[in-house]
Amino acid sequence: MNFVLSTPGRYAAALTAALACSVALAAAPAAPAAIYQTQLQPLDGKLESLDRYRGHALVVNFWAPWCGPCRTEVPEFVAMQDAYRGKAQFVGVALDEAAAVRAFAHDYGINYPLYLAGMGGIAIMLREGDTRGAVPFTVVYDGNGHKVGTITGLASPEKLEALLAAAIAATPGDH
């Protein structure tokens, strides 16, 4: 049996099909945020994903011990990790080798997790929005892994505080 639909009939059928698809997509669970799927190596351990930080605002700072601006901003990150403990988690992703990162972490009293990415970290930085491929680069996410904003270069405390406030506000249960 052939059905011939008029133009309005075809439009209505297409609209019905589109609505059915959008309802099915809305009901499907959201794909995990890319940052949570990122596999990195902690200073002393096996590869792990950043999924362990889901549920809290997340600050991911790409850095290196030899980077002057990185050396400048780390003390502020240490202070902010203390101030935001329980609401936000800072994570450092180092573009260097373990020995240099360990020494730097000791000298600067870093109180947040550090991961080793080597030069492979540049690909992650580019994926997350860094157009320079240079450190420091900081990305702030809400508790669902949605990117709230980025800071290219030295992170000013004022900009980081504003991004953190937005990330915490967008994170259920973290107010």
CATH of the domain at 149: 3.40.30.10
Overall number of domains in the chain: 1
Cis peptide before 69 (omega within 30 of 0): no
* In-domain check, residue 71: yes
* In-domain check, residue 114: yes
The predicted pLDDT at position 175 comes to 53
* In-domain check, residue 87: yes
- Number of residues assigned to the chain: 175
Closest to 60 (Cα-Cα) out of 113, 132, 106 = 113
Task: Tell me the residue range of the domain where 103 lies.
Answer: 34-169
* In-domain check, residue 152: yes
Is residue 87's pLDDT more than 70?
A: yes
* In-domain check, residue 23: no
**pTM (two decimals):** 0.80
* In-domain check, residue 2: no
* In-domain check, residue 13: no
Q: Are 60 and 151 in contact (CB under 8 A)?
A: no
Q: Are 94 and 115 in contact (CB under 8 A)?
A: yes
Predicted confidence (pLDDT) per residue in 19-63, tens digit: 333 333 333 334 457 888 888 999 988 899 999 999 999 999 999
Q: Which residue has the higher pLDDT, 119 or 69?
A: 69
* In-domain check, residue 29: no
